[in-house]
């Protein structure tokens, strides 16, 4: 079931809210939690009921493992638990990938399993690995099975995050106030959900028709021109931005309707002035997980191994996103970016005086643009279905296919250029830089770089990693007439478009 579907918006969500608060109002908190757990399992099983057993097994295994670790804090138990979790993830997500590569490397003929990837396995596996590690460290404990099951299955964050910590969620469900309906929570939640739905069905899905043809052409071995390549790549950069940002907003909004504050997972990453800042703002809870449970255990900044640890962390982070060499290269690129960024930062601090002048506007614009282009370049490997397609697209954007302009743009250039240069060939895949595609890029670029993001708009505050969106939102979001009209209009437009087109999955559902 998708957040951007009529079944979810008009049936599932209202029924679950009504049941939860009806039980909570009567003091049946245990029944309310049970209702929410079974509703979340139904939500997950809507996609493929056959894989409910995997989610349930994972919950049971890690719950009892946590109890065992609480009683006997032995490293062997922890290692065994992590191995089981990673073993399941490895089998379902990577078995075919390793078989395919083993066949190619050793000239074997082992048949692939053609395993269907269970939805959200990466997310609920990482979330529970974090839990058992925290239990081993003595930071958390949980003996209430229903509460633990809700921590794992809570449907707003089950499919694509955020990856939450036990200590962030369970205290909220332990509060009596969480079971009482509050209009302020509904106002904040509905507003945030409306913003996320608009981002998904209007902005992300709208720009996808300009990115998809370019990648399909590259994967099919067709020649992609320089401008079409960059046009499609920038279009995809904006598509995944609004798609993922939209999901993050909708998850926070749904959680707020239940009175639950989910952590901020997305904070205007394309405004970042370097790659370090980008990864503090993009998929923030995944970055936190990789830092706390991979980078630091590898050694972190100690013993001069920062650069190697960074590279390994991002390499594995890339592989987490998908079982393909494209994702490995994407992770390696970001690992290299981070290494260069930290080296430059270290070099700059050593070579410059202690009191530095305030960065100029020109420098800020240049560093932001450079970061955005570096991130967009890496998206070529992330989005392409084949390694050959990714290479074909990178050749196009590096100018190796020639600087050919679409024929339709010929009339927009001075006559001197038209007569002196013969770089007009065909219509291209997208016919950039003219047409609606170019207009879409300008509009979305303006939204990304110049307008406040959802949390800033609602709370009128600039968010950092330490600030919780929900707490601020409750304090400052008003229910006056004008905001209600705006939210109503946004919802009306989004739902009208949603019901008129076929449902589209969120991009992170694939991971």
Tokens of 401: 């296919």
What is the spatial distance between Cα 511 and Cα 119, in angstroms, rounded to a whole number?
8
Which residues, 6+ apart, have CB-to-CB distance to 134 below 8 Å? 140, 165, 166, 167
Q: If 0-12 CB within 10 Å is exposed, 13-18 middle and 19+ buried, where does residue 104 land? A: exposed
Report the chain's C-alpha Rg in angstroms.
24
To the query of whether residue 166 is one of the catalytic residues in this protein, the response is no
Output the CA–CA distances (angstroms, integers) from residue 130 to 70, 108, 134, 189, 474, in the order listed.
Answer: 14, 37, 6, 27, 29
CA angle (21 as vertex; 19, 59 as ends), nearest 5: 70
- Residue 340 CA to residue 35 CA, distance in Å, equals 50
- For residues 84 and 508, give the distance between their C-alpha atoms in angstroms, rounded to a whole number: 24
Tokens 């191994």 belong to which residue?
305
The 3-state secondary structure of 378-405, one letter per residue: HHHHHHCCCHHHHHHHHHHHCCCCCCCE
Instruction: Please choose, from the candidates 250, 263, 261, 260, the residue with its C-alpha nearest in 3D space to the C-alpha of residue 20.
Output: 260
SS3 137: coil
Relative orientation angle of helices 183-198 and 226-257, to the nearest 10 degrees = 170
DSSP 110: P
299 Rama class: left (phi>0) / alpha (psi -120 to 50) / beta: left
Cβ atoms 255, 156 nearer than 8 A:
yes
List the catalytic residue out of 321, 334, 342, 346. Answer: 321
Could you tell me which of 215, 237, 228 has the C-alpha nearest to residue 388? 215
Q: Which residues of 297-328 are buried (b: 16+ CB within 10 A; e: fewer)?
A: ebeeeeeeebbebbbbbbbbbbbbbbbbbbbb
- What is the C-alpha separation between 225 and 233, in angstroms, rounded? 12
CB 407 within 8 A of CB 387: no
| Residues designated as active site | 321
């Amino acid at each position: 079931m998708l957040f951007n579907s009529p079944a979810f918006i008009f049936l599932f969500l209202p029924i679950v809210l009504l049941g939860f608060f009806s039980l909570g109002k009567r003091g049946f908190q245990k029944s309310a939690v049970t209702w929410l757990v079974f509703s979340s399992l139904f939500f997950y099983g809507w996609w493929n009921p056959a894989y409910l057993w995997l989610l349930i097994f994972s919950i049971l295994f890690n719950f009892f493992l946590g109890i065992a670790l609480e009683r006997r804090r032995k490293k062997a138990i922890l290692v065994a638990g992590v191995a089981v979790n990673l073993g399941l993830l490895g089998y379902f997500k990577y078995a075919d990938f390793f078989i395919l590569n083993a066949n190619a490397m050793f000239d074997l003929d082992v048949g692939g399993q053609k395993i269907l990837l269970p939805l959200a396995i990466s997310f609920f596996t990482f979330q529970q690995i974090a839990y058992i590690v925290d239990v081993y460290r003595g930071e958390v404990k949980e003996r209430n099975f229903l509460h633990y099951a809700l921590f794992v299955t809570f449907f707003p964050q089950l499919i694509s995050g955020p990856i939450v910590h036990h200590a962030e969620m369970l205290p909220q469900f332990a509060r009596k106030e969480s079971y009482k309906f509050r209009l302020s929570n509904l106002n904040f939640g509905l507003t945030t959900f409306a913003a996320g739905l608009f981002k998904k069905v209007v902005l992300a899905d709208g720009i996808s028709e300009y990115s998809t043809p370019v990648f399909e052409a590259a994967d099919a071995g067709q020649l992609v021109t320089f401008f079409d390549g960059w046009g499609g790549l920038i279009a995809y950069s904006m598509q995944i931005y609004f798609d993922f940002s939209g999901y993050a907003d909708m998850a926070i909004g749904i959680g707020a309707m239940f009175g639950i504050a989910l952590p901020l997972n997305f904070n205007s990453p394309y405004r970042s002035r370097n790659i370090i800042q980008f990864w503090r703002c993009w998929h923030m809870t995944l970055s936190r997980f990789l830092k706390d449970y991979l980078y630091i255990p590898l050694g972190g900044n100690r013993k001069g191994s920062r650069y190697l640890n960074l590279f390994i962390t991002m390499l594995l982070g890339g592989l987490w996103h998908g079982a393909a060499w494209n994702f490995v290269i994407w992770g390696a690129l970001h690992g290299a970016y981070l290494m260069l960024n930290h080296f430059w930062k270290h070099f700059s601090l050593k070579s410059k005086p202690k009191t530095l002048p305030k960065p100029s506007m020109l420098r800020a614009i240049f560093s932001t643009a450079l970061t955005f282009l570096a991130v967009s370049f890496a998206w070529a490997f992330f989005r392409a279905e084949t390694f050959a397609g990714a290479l074909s697209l990178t050749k196009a954007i590096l100018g190796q296919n020639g600087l050919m302009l679409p024929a339709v743009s010929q009339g927009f250039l001075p006559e001197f250029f038209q007569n002196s240069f013969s770089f007009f060939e065909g219509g291209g895949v997208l016919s950039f830089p003219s047409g609606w595609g170019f207009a879409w890029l300008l509009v979305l670029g303006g939204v990304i770089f110049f307008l406040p993001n959802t949390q800033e708009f609602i709370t009128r505050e600039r968010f950092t990693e330490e600030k919780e969106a929900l707490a601020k939102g409750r304090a400052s979001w008003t229910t006056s007439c004008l905001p209600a009209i705006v939210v109503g209009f946004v919802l009306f437009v989004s739902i009208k478009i949603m019901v008129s087109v076929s449902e589209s999955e969120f991009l992170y559902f694939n991971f």
